[in-house]
Structure formats: structure tokens, C-alpha cells
């Protein structure tokens, strides 16, 4: 699987950036490649190239592929 890493500098305090990035409703503003994000019964799901997955599973997938 190919990957592309893009780096940007954000002139904001780390805590503020983390707070913004940790809100699932903001994902499409910074991770457009993930696709459509949906909430159902207080659980968030995202459509990926590999199909629909919940965010907890997506986190596990990303952690396993980043090593």
C-alpha cells in the first residue's frame, strides 16, 4: 500500500490543535481522504477505501500500520 505524508505548521497552541483534531465532526476538515463521517447512537463511523469502519477500529488500523 502506498502512502503520502504531508506536513504543515499550525500556528496554534498544541492543546487547541489537539482539541480540534479530536472532535470527530471536524475530521472532514483535516482528513478528507477518509471519506464521509457518520454518527449513529453516539458512535462514529467513517467510509474508507477498505469499507465502512468505526473510529475505534480505524485507530487500531492506523496504529498497526504506522509501526
**What pLDDT does 12 receive?**
95
Dihedral of the alpha carbons of 15, 17, 21, 22, in degrees to the nearest 10: 10
Q: For the segment 27-67, what is each residue's pLDDT rounded down to a tens digit? A: 778 776 666 777 788 777 877 777 777 777 666 665 665 55
**What pLDDT does 40 receive?**
81
List the domain boundaries for the chain: 32-67
Say how far apart CA 37 and CA 46 lie, in whole Å: 4
For 63, the 3-state DSSP assignment is helix
**What pLDDT does 39 receive?**
78
Instruction: For residue 46, count other CB atoms closer than 10 A to its CB.
Output: 19
Say how far apart CA 32 and CA 56 lie, in whole Å: 18
pTM over 0.75: no
Instruction: Evaluate if residue 13 carries a pLDDT over 90.
Output: yes
Say how far apart CA 40 and CA 59 lie, in whole Å: 18
Amino acid at each position: 500500500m502506498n502512502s503520502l505524508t504531508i506536513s504543515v505548521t499550525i500556528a496554534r497552541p498544541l492543546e487547541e490543535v489537539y482539541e480540534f483534531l479530536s472532535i470527530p465532526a471536524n475530521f472532514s476538515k483535516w482528513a478528507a481522504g477518509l471519506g464521509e463521517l457518520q454518527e449513529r447512537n453516539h458512535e462514529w463511523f467513517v467510509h474508507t477505501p477498505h469499507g465502512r469502519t468505526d473510529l475505534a477500529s480505524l485507530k487500531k488500523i492506523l496504529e498497526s500500520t504506522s509501526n
